[in-house]
């Protein structure tokens, strides 16, 4: 019995030793063997028919509007540590190949690209307008770094200023900028902010409207078509005008692939009509319709947009302006020595919706310069503009020569209106301004974050003009 027990113990010990040796041999083989079976990046050439190289990690920083440096990495199984050092949403795309997830400011993601053959690859930010603003660089795959090490980013080619000029000839730079500016205004298909007309007015006075959310092909600048998310096939969606006391009904049909809702931002509505699925209602599923009914109970300079999946739907275009009653213009007031006539006639009133992300990118009313709309007035005219920020960052809107009287914030009339040449608008805010077209000329109107307006490829994005003709 004792001998049997000793034999069994020796057998167990032998198995344990063999197990340890097996694991050790496997580890040695894993260290010596080349890495294989790496996922191939769609649209990017696989490595040549040689032994697969080891893993390679590169760090790339994105900002407004730059990809910091030209990378050189060895051929191998590439993973990019992608850092968004800016404030806007960015991503990284390979020309004809994979695209990273969208990354919020301050976030970092690991972007696995796969095995790359030796060569030069164009990389850029795929957010509309960002590549044009300077977010383009090259990734050189070849000799110059050992497998398995992190490759530092050298600051060459695309500086933090986002100029993107590289070795471009100064005269060529001048030519590109001048030609881009002289292309304004350019015609494109589609126009947003069209006044929403009712489909029915019932006997009890209820005004019935229809809004359809869908994904459309939207021409954001000449020849540049993007996948826009729209209401009634326009970006921004239709401009809604109502009066206090109106009974309103909105039949909202969802033709997008995801559930949606409509939030009435800045509009006083009952809880059940606030449009925040699933708290106030069930999501409007694809193909379904939901009816919002409420009374316009107070004046407002508000807006409407999707709340569910808002991070996708709103930057891509699902937003619109909503105004109840007339704008609270300070008729008869004197502000900083300037008298606003009591009997002032307003020549025009319109929304200007600014955006900076999603498929439509840096735009004014859904269009990028030179496709933005110019505004023409006769010397002496007064006009009202309501700024709406449906983007993800602040935009200081600067108008040359013509002063802006800021008279309302988020629709609330200011006790002390004030004059400004630059009005800073944060996401979700609305500012209402009165402008006197008292100087003849073509006056540029733009976001004063200059990389939102100009790039090495010329003027683009958040730029338009006020044209004042002689009386």
Answer for the pair 321, 303: CB distance below 8 angstroms, yes or no: yes
Q: H or E segment at 31?
A: helix 2-32
Domain boundaries, the chain: 55-167, 200-332+343-469
Q: H or E segment at 306?
A: none
Measured CA to CA, the distance from residue 236 to residue 232 in angstroms comes to 10
Residue 193 C-beta-side C-alpha neighbours within 13 Å: 18
Phi and psi angles of residue 306, each rounded to the nearest 5 degrees, phi first: -65, 145
What token pair was written down for 103?
């990354």
What token pair was written down for 343?
């009997």
What token pair was written down for 471?
């009386």
101, 142, 92: which is closest to 122 by C-alpha?
A: 92
Query: Kindly report the CA angle at 111 between 109 and 115, in degrees rounded to 5?
Result: 160
Cα 297 to chain centroid distance, Å, stands at 33
Query: Kindly report the CA angle at 219 between 218 and 225, in degrees rounded to 5?
Result: 80
Measured CA to CA, the distance from residue 65 to residue 16 in angstroms comes to 59
Instruction: Please report the pLDDT score of residue 264 as a whole number.
Output: 98
Measured CA to CA, the distance from residue 69 to residue 201 in angstroms comes to 60
Measured CA to CA, the distance from residue 344 to residue 339 in angstroms comes to 10
304, 166, 314, 165: which is closest to 242 by C-alpha?
A: 304
186, 140, 129: which is closest to 162 by C-alpha?
A: 129
Q: Which CATH architecture has domain 200-332+343-469?
A: Sandwich (2.60)
* Positions of the chain with pLDDT lower than 70, given as ranges: 1-53, 69-70, 128, 143-168
Measured CA to CA, the distance from residue 439 to residue 444 in angstroms comes to 13
Q: Are strands 463-469 and 200-201 parallel, antiparallel or unpaired?
A: unpaired
Answer for the pair 252, 220: CB distance below 8 angstroms, yes or no: no
Instruction: Please report the pLDDT score of residue 357 as a whole number.
Output: 87
Same fold, 55-167 and 200-332+343-469: yes
Cβ contacts of residue 36 below 8 Å, gap of 6+? 52
**Rg of the chain, C-alpha, whole Å:** 29
Measured CA to CA, the distance from residue 160 to residue 178 in angstroms comes to 24
Return the SS3 of 339.
strand
Which DSSP letter does residue 195 get? B
CB neighbourhood size of 13 (10 A): 10
Instruction: Please report the pLDDT score of residue 52 as a whole number.
Output: 53
Could you say which of 1.10.1040.10, 2.40.40.20, 2.60.40.420, 1.10.275.10 is the CATH number of the domain covering 55-167?
A: 2.60.40.420
Instruction: Please report the pLDDT score of residue 62 as a whole number.
Output: 92
Residue 254 C-beta-side C-alpha neighbours within 13 Å: 22
Alpha carbon separation from 31 to 34, 35, 53, 252 (Å, rounded): 8, 9, 12, 60
What token pair was written down for 351?
């929304």
461, 460, 441: which is closest to 179 by C-alpha?
A: 460
């Amino acid at each position: 019995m004792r001998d049997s027990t000793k034999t069994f113990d020796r057998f167990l010990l032998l198995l344990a030793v063999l197990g340890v040796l097996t694991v050790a041999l496997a580890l040695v083989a894993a260290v010596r063997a080349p890495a294989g079976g790496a996922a191939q990046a769609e649209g990017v050439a696989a490595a040549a028919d040689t032994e697969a190289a080891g893993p390679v990690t590169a760090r790339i920083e994105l900002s407004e509007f730059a990809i910091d440096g030209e990378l050189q990495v060895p051929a191998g199984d590439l993973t990019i540590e992608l850092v968004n050092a800016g404030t806007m949403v960015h991503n990284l795309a390979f020309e004809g190949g994979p695209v990273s997830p969208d990354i919020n400011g301050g976030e970092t993601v690991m972007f696995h690209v796969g095995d790359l053959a030796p060569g030069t690859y164009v990389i850029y930010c795929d957010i509309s307008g960002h590549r044009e603003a300077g977010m383009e660089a090259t990734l050189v795959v070849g000799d110059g770094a050992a497998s398995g090490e992190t490759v530092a980013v050298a600051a060459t080619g695309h500086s933090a200023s986002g100029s993107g000029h590289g070795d471009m000839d100064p005269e060529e730079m001048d030519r590109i900028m001048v030609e881009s500016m002289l292309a304004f205004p350019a015609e494109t298909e589609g126009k947003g902010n069209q006044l929403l007309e009712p489909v029915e007015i019932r006997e009890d006075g209820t005004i019935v409207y229809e809004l359809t959310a869908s994904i459309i092909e939207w021409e954001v600048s000449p020849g540049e078509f993007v996948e826009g998310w729209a209401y009634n096939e326009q970006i921004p969606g239709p401009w809604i005008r109502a009066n206090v006391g109106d009974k309103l009904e909105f039949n909202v049909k969802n033709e997008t692939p995801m559930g949606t809702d409509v939030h009435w931002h800045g509009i006083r509505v009952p809880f059940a009509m606030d449009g925040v699925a699933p708290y106030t209602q069930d999501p409007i599923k694809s193909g379904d319709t939901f009816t919002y009914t409420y009374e316009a109970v107070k004046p407002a300079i508000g807006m409407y947009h999707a709340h569910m999946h808002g991070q996708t739907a709103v930057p891509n275009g699902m937003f619109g302006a909503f105004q109840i009653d007339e704008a609270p213009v300070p008729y008869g007031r004197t502000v900083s020595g300037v008298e606003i006539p009591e009997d002032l006639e307003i020549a025009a009133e319109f929304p200007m919706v600014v955006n900076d992300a999603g498929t439509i990118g840096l735009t004014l009313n859904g269009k990028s310069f030179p496709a933005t709309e110019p505004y023409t007035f006769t010397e002496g005219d007064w006009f009202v503009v309501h700024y709406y920020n449906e983007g993800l960052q602040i935009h200081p809107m600067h108008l040359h020569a013509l002063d802006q009287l800021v008279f309302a914030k988020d629709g609330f009339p200011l006790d002390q209106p004030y004059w400004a040449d630059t009005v800073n608008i944060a996401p979700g805010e609305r500012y209402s301004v009165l402008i006197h077209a008292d100087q003849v000329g073509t006056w540029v109107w733009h976001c004063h974050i200059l990389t939102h307006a100009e790039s090495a490829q010329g003027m683009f994005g958040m730029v338009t003009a006020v044209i004042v003709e002689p009386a």
